[in-house]
Amino acid sequence: MQSFVVMQGETYQVERELGIITSPQKDSGGQEPHSWLRMKEINVGDRIFHYVKGYIVAISVAKTDCYVISKTLDIESQKKNTSDNDYLVELEYYELEEPLNVLSNFREISPLLPIKYSPFQQDGNGNPGYLYPCNEQLVIKLLELISDLNIYRVDEEQLELAIGTVRRTEHNNFIPMIAEMESEVKLMIRKGHEKFRKELLPLWANKCALCDIELPILLQASHSKPWKDSTHIERINPFNGILLCCNHDALYSKGYIAFDGQGRLHISSSIPEEDYLIYNISPKKKIARYEENKPYFKWHLKNIFS
Protein backbone atom coordinates (compact mmCIF):
# COMPACT_ATOMS: atom_id res chain seq x y z
CA MET A 1 0.00 0.00 0.00
CA GLN A 2 1.25 3.46 -0.92
CA SER A 3 -0.05 6.84 0.17
CA PHE A 4 -0.33 10.15 -1.64
CA VAL A 5 -1.51 13.72 -1.14
CA VAL A 6 -3.66 15.23 -3.90
CA MET A 7 -3.98 19.01 -4.19
CA GLN A 8 -7.47 19.66 -5.50
CA GLY A 9 -8.67 23.20 -4.89
CA GLU A 10 -11.51 24.08 -7.22
CA THR A 11 -11.75 20.58 -8.67
CA TYR A 12 -12.51 18.89 -5.33
CA GLN A 13 -16.32 19.08 -5.36
CA VAL A 14 -16.71 17.69 -8.86
CA GLU A 15 -14.12 14.97 -8.38
CA ARG A 16 -15.61 13.90 -5.05
CA GLU A 17 -19.09 13.66 -6.53
CA LEU A 18 -17.75 11.52 -9.36
CA GLY A 19 -15.61 9.49 -6.92
CA ILE A 20 -12.43 10.05 -8.91
CA ILE A 21 -9.21 11.98 -9.19
CA THR A 22 -8.01 12.86 -12.66
CA SER A 23 -5.21 14.77 -14.36
CA PRO A 24 -4.06 15.37 -17.91
CA GLN A 25 -1.05 13.43 -19.19
CA LYS A 26 0.80 16.32 -20.79
CA ASP A 27 0.75 20.09 -20.48
CA SER A 28 0.29 22.49 -23.37
CA GLY A 29 4.03 22.38 -24.05
CA GLY A 30 3.93 18.59 -24.37
CA GLN A 31 5.77 18.11 -21.05
CA GLU A 32 4.80 15.54 -18.42
CA PRO A 33 4.93 17.25 -14.99
CA HIS A 34 5.99 14.85 -12.19
CA SER A 35 2.81 15.51 -10.22
CA TRP A 36 0.67 14.30 -13.15
CA LEU A 37 2.97 11.45 -14.15
CA ARG A 38 2.79 10.17 -10.52
CA MET A 39 -0.89 9.27 -11.15
CA LYS A 40 0.42 6.16 -12.92
CA GLU A 41 1.88 4.89 -9.64
CA ILE A 42 -1.53 4.57 -7.94
CA ASN A 43 -2.73 1.00 -7.48
CA VAL A 44 -5.97 -0.37 -6.11
CA GLY A 45 -5.95 -0.17 -2.29
CA ASP A 46 -3.63 2.86 -2.12
CA ARG A 47 -4.70 5.71 0.17
CA ILE A 48 -4.95 9.37 -0.73
CA PHE A 49 -5.20 12.48 1.47
CA HIS A 50 -7.22 15.24 -0.18
CA TYR A 51 -5.89 18.79 0.33
CA VAL A 52 -8.14 21.75 -0.42
CA LYS A 53 -7.26 25.37 0.42
CA GLY A 54 -5.17 24.76 3.52
CA TYR A 55 -7.06 21.74 4.84
CA ILE A 56 -6.96 17.95 4.55
CA VAL A 57 -10.67 17.45 3.92
CA ALA A 58 -10.92 13.74 3.06
CA ILE A 59 -9.11 10.42 2.85
CA SER A 60 -9.85 8.02 0.04
CA VAL A 61 -9.06 4.45 -0.95
CA ALA A 62 -8.29 3.65 -4.61
CA LYS A 63 -10.90 1.29 -6.08
CA THR A 64 -8.91 0.89 -9.31
CA ASP A 65 -5.34 1.18 -10.56
CA CYS A 66 -4.68 4.34 -12.52
CA TYR A 67 -5.95 4.04 -16.07
CA VAL A 68 -6.11 6.27 -19.12
CA ILE A 69 -9.45 7.57 -20.24
CA SER A 70 -10.18 9.02 -23.61
CA LYS A 71 -11.82 12.41 -23.50
CA THR A 72 -12.49 12.76 -27.20
CA LEU A 73 -16.15 13.46 -26.39
CA ASP A 74 -15.32 16.15 -23.86
CA ILE A 75 -14.93 19.18 -26.09
CA GLU A 76 -14.39 21.65 -23.25
CA SER A 77 -11.49 19.65 -21.86
CA GLN A 78 -9.98 19.27 -25.28
CA LYS A 79 -9.84 23.03 -25.64
CA LYS A 80 -7.81 23.32 -22.44
CA ASN A 81 -5.28 20.59 -23.03
CA THR A 82 -3.34 19.25 -25.92
CA SER A 83 -3.35 15.67 -24.68
CA ASP A 84 -6.21 13.50 -25.85
CA ASN A 85 -6.34 11.35 -22.77
CA ASP A 86 -6.36 11.81 -19.01
CA TYR A 87 -5.17 9.73 -16.09
CA LEU A 88 -8.02 8.63 -13.88
CA VAL A 89 -8.38 6.69 -10.61
CA GLU A 90 -11.72 5.69 -9.08
CA LEU A 91 -11.88 6.23 -5.33
CA GLU A 92 -13.99 5.65 -2.24
CA TYR A 93 -14.05 9.06 -0.54
CA TYR A 94 -14.26 9.41 3.26
CA GLU A 95 -14.92 13.06 3.95
CA LEU A 96 -13.74 14.36 7.33
CA GLU A 97 -16.31 15.91 9.61
CA GLU A 98 -13.52 18.09 11.02
CA PRO A 99 -10.98 19.00 8.30
CA LEU A 100 -7.33 19.20 9.37
CA ASN A 101 -5.73 22.63 9.10
CA VAL A 102 -2.20 21.99 7.84
CA LEU A 103 -0.79 25.39 8.78
CA SER A 104 -1.87 25.23 12.42
CA ASN A 105 -0.27 21.78 12.78
CA PHE A 106 2.77 22.56 10.68
CA ARG A 107 5.27 22.36 13.54
CA GLU A 108 4.49 18.63 13.81
CA ILE A 109 4.13 18.02 10.07
CA SER A 110 7.19 19.93 8.83
CA PRO A 111 9.99 17.57 10.12
CA LEU A 112 8.37 14.68 8.22
CA LEU A 113 8.31 16.37 4.82
CA PRO A 114 10.79 15.15 2.21
CA ILE A 115 13.29 17.59 0.70
CA LYS A 116 12.13 16.61 -2.79
CA TYR A 117 8.48 16.41 -3.89
CA SER A 118 6.96 17.70 -0.67
CA PRO A 119 3.22 18.45 -0.91
CA PHE A 120 3.70 21.50 1.33
CA GLN A 121 6.03 24.48 1.12
CA GLN A 122 8.27 25.53 4.00
CA ASP A 123 5.76 28.20 5.01
CA GLY A 124 3.03 25.56 5.39
CA ASN A 125 1.12 26.34 2.21
CA GLY A 126 0.38 23.72 -0.44
CA ASN A 127 2.70 23.33 -3.39
CA PRO A 128 1.38 23.82 -6.91
CA GLY A 129 0.97 20.54 -8.74
CA TYR A 130 -1.51 17.73 -8.38
CA LEU A 131 -0.30 14.47 -6.82
CA TYR A 132 2.54 14.10 -4.31
CA PRO A 133 3.93 11.05 -2.50
CA CYS A 134 3.17 10.76 1.22
CA ASN A 135 5.83 8.81 3.15
CA GLU A 136 4.80 6.42 5.91
CA GLN A 137 6.02 8.62 8.77
CA LEU A 138 3.98 11.53 7.42
CA VAL A 139 0.96 9.20 7.04
CA ILE A 140 1.16 8.25 10.74
CA LYS A 141 1.34 11.90 11.81
CA LEU A 142 -1.58 12.96 9.57
CA LEU A 143 -3.68 10.04 10.82
CA GLU A 144 -2.93 10.94 14.44
CA LEU A 145 -3.98 14.55 13.89
CA ILE A 146 -7.08 13.52 11.91
CA SER A 147 -8.07 10.95 14.57
CA ASP A 148 -7.70 13.55 17.34
CA LEU A 149 -10.13 15.80 15.49
CA ASN A 150 -12.56 13.22 14.16
CA ILE A 151 -12.64 10.17 16.36
CA TYR A 152 -11.71 10.91 19.93
CA ARG A 153 -13.35 13.49 22.09
CA VAL A 154 -11.82 13.93 25.48
CA ASP A 155 -14.40 15.33 27.85
CA GLU A 156 -13.21 18.07 30.16
CA GLU A 157 -13.85 15.99 33.25
CA GLN A 158 -11.98 13.06 31.75
CA LEU A 159 -8.84 14.99 30.91
CA GLU A 160 -7.20 13.97 34.15
CA LEU A 161 -7.50 10.33 33.22
CA ALA A 162 -6.87 11.02 29.53
CA ILE A 163 -9.63 8.66 28.46
CA GLY A 164 -11.13 9.42 25.09
CA THR A 165 -14.62 8.53 24.04
CA VAL A 166 -15.40 7.46 20.51
CA ARG A 167 -17.09 10.37 18.89
CA ARG A 168 -18.66 9.30 15.66
CA THR A 169 -20.08 5.86 15.99
CA GLU A 170 -22.55 6.66 13.21
CA HIS A 171 -19.66 6.71 10.71
CA ASN A 172 -18.69 3.16 11.40
CA ASN A 173 -16.75 2.57 8.19
CA PHE A 174 -14.49 5.58 8.71
CA ILE A 175 -12.92 4.35 11.96
CA PRO A 176 -11.96 0.86 10.71
CA MET A 177 -10.49 2.43 7.55
CA ILE A 178 -8.27 4.75 9.63
CA ALA A 179 -7.30 1.93 12.02
CA GLU A 180 -6.44 -0.45 9.19
CA MET A 181 -4.41 2.19 7.37
CA GLU A 182 -2.47 3.05 10.52
CA SER A 183 -1.63 -0.54 11.42
CA GLU A 184 -0.62 -1.39 7.83
CA VAL A 185 1.72 1.61 7.63
CA LYS A 186 3.24 0.94 11.06
CA LEU A 187 3.89 -2.66 10.04
CA MET A 188 5.62 -1.49 6.84
CA ILE A 189 7.91 0.83 8.83
CA ARG A 190 8.71 -1.85 11.43
CA LYS A 191 9.46 -4.55 8.84
CA GLY A 192 11.59 -2.11 6.85
CA HIS A 193 13.64 -1.09 9.89
CA GLU A 194 14.10 -4.70 11.02
CA LYS A 195 15.47 -5.75 7.64
CA PHE A 196 17.68 -2.65 7.39
CA ARG A 197 19.18 -3.17 10.87
CA LYS A 198 19.72 -6.89 10.44
CA GLU A 199 21.70 -6.41 7.22
CA LEU A 200 23.55 -3.32 8.44
CA LEU A 201 24.91 -4.74 11.74
CA PRO A 202 27.47 -7.15 10.23
CA LEU A 203 28.72 -4.48 7.78
CA TRP A 204 30.03 -2.54 10.79
CA ALA A 205 31.18 -5.55 12.83
CA ASN A 206 28.32 -4.98 15.29
CA LYS A 207 29.87 -1.89 16.85
CA CYS A 208 29.66 1.89 16.65
CA ALA A 209 31.68 3.09 13.67
CA LEU A 210 33.03 5.99 15.73
CA CYS A 211 33.60 4.78 19.29
CA ASP A 212 33.49 0.96 19.12
CA ILE A 213 30.62 0.60 21.62
CA GLU A 214 29.29 -2.94 21.17
CA LEU A 215 26.36 -3.13 23.56
CA PRO A 216 23.43 -4.01 21.22
CA ILE A 217 20.86 -1.99 23.16
CA LEU A 218 22.94 1.17 22.54
CA LEU A 219 23.40 0.58 18.82
CA GLN A 220 21.28 2.35 16.21
CA ALA A 221 21.08 1.54 12.51
CA SER A 222 21.17 5.14 11.36
CA HIS A 223 19.94 6.15 7.91
CA SER A 224 22.15 8.51 5.91
CA LYS A 225 19.29 9.42 3.58
CA PRO A 226 16.28 9.40 5.94
CA TRP A 227 13.19 7.26 5.41
CA LYS A 228 11.12 10.27 4.34
CA ASP A 229 13.53 11.13 1.54
CA SER A 230 14.33 7.60 0.36
CA THR A 231 12.73 5.42 -2.27
CA HIS A 232 11.35 2.03 -1.19
CA ILE A 233 14.62 0.39 -2.24
CA GLU A 234 16.87 2.99 -0.58
CA ARG A 235 15.03 2.61 2.75
CA ILE A 236 16.08 -0.98 3.16
CA ASN A 237 19.47 -0.71 1.45
CA PRO A 238 21.98 -1.42 4.29
CA PHE A 239 24.55 0.81 2.57
CA ASN A 240 22.23 3.76 3.09
CA GLY A 241 23.26 3.81 6.71
CA ILE A 242 25.88 3.39 9.38
CA LEU A 243 25.93 1.68 12.76
CA LEU A 244 26.32 4.19 15.57
CA CYS A 245 25.81 4.31 19.34
CA CYS A 246 22.81 6.36 20.55
CA ASN A 247 24.90 9.50 21.11
CA HIS A 248 26.63 9.42 17.75
CA ASP A 249 23.38 8.44 16.02
CA ALA A 250 21.69 11.54 17.47
CA LEU A 251 24.56 13.74 16.30
CA TYR A 252 24.47 12.13 12.84
CA SER A 253 20.72 12.20 12.26
CA LYS A 254 20.49 15.83 13.43
CA GLY A 255 23.36 16.88 11.16
CA TYR A 256 25.99 17.75 13.80
CA ILE A 257 28.39 15.25 12.26
CA ALA A 258 28.75 13.77 8.76
CA PHE A 259 31.15 11.76 6.64
CA ASP A 260 32.48 12.62 3.21
CA GLY A 261 32.95 10.20 0.34
CA GLN A 262 36.31 9.09 1.76
CA GLY A 263 34.83 8.39 5.19
CA ARG A 264 36.40 11.44 6.87
CA LEU A 265 34.45 12.85 9.80
CA HIS A 266 33.04 16.36 9.46
CA ILE A 267 31.99 18.19 12.63
CA SER A 268 29.48 21.04 12.66
CA SER A 269 30.76 24.45 13.73
CA SER A 270 27.94 24.49 16.29
CA ILE A 271 29.96 22.03 18.40
CA PRO A 272 32.82 23.96 20.07
CA GLU A 273 36.26 22.38 19.63
CA GLU A 274 36.81 22.16 23.37
CA ASP A 275 33.80 19.81 23.56
CA TYR A 276 35.11 17.27 21.02
CA LEU A 277 36.49 15.09 23.80
CA ILE A 278 33.15 15.04 25.64
CA TYR A 279 31.39 13.88 22.48
CA ASN A 280 34.17 11.46 21.64
CA ILE A 281 34.71 12.91 18.16
CA SER A 282 37.81 14.06 16.36
CA PRO A 283 38.20 15.92 13.05
CA LYS A 284 41.06 13.51 12.26
CA LYS A 285 38.78 10.48 12.42
CA LYS A 286 38.35 8.52 9.20
CA ILE A 287 36.16 5.43 9.07
CA ALA A 288 36.53 2.45 6.76
CA ARG A 289 33.48 2.94 4.57
CA TYR A 290 32.25 0.79 1.71
CA GLU A 291 32.21 2.11 -1.84
CA GLU A 292 28.39 1.74 -1.75
CA ASN A 293 28.18 4.12 1.25
CA LYS A 294 29.65 6.95 -0.80
CA PRO A 295 26.55 8.37 -2.52
CA TYR A 296 24.55 8.21 0.72
CA PHE A 297 27.29 9.86 2.83
CA LYS A 298 27.53 12.61 0.23
CA TRP A 299 23.75 13.11 0.23
CA HIS A 300 23.74 13.38 4.03
CA LEU A 301 26.70 15.80 4.02
CA LYS A 302 24.95 18.02 1.48
CA ASN A 303 21.40 17.91 2.83
CA ILE A 304 21.46 17.14 6.57
CA PHE A 305 24.85 18.37 7.84
CA SER A 306 24.80 21.93 9.05
Positions that interact with Zn ion (CB under 5 A)? 208, 210-211, 245, 248
CB under 8 Å to 46, separation ≥6 — which residues?
Answer: 1, 2, 3, 4, 61, 62
- The number of angstroms, rounded, from the C-alpha of 93 to the middle of its chain's C-alpha atoms is 21
CB of 242 to Zn ion, least distance (A): 10
CB of 248 to Zn ion, least distance (A): 4
Measured from the CB atom, is 4 or 297 closer to Zn ion? Answer: 297
Contact 42, 88 (CB under 8 A): no
Measured from the CB atom, is 91 or 208 closer to Zn ion? Answer: 208
CB of 164 to Zn ion, least distance (A): 40
User: 61 vs 48, 95, 254, CA distance in Å?
Assistant: 6, 12, 35
CB of 240 to Zn ion, least distance (A): 19
CB of 202 to Zn ion, least distance (A): 18
CB under 8 Å to 236, separation ≥6 — which residues?
Answer: 192, 195, 196, 199
**Tally of helices (H runs) and strands (E runs) in the chain:** 10, 13
Measured from the CB atom, is 177 or 250 closer to Zn ion? Answer: 250
Residue 189 and residue 137: Cα distance in Å, rounded? Answer: 8
SS3 174: helix
Measured from the CB atom, is 89 or 208 closer to Zn ion? Answer: 208
Measured from the CB atom, is 228 or 248 closer to Zn ion? Answer: 248
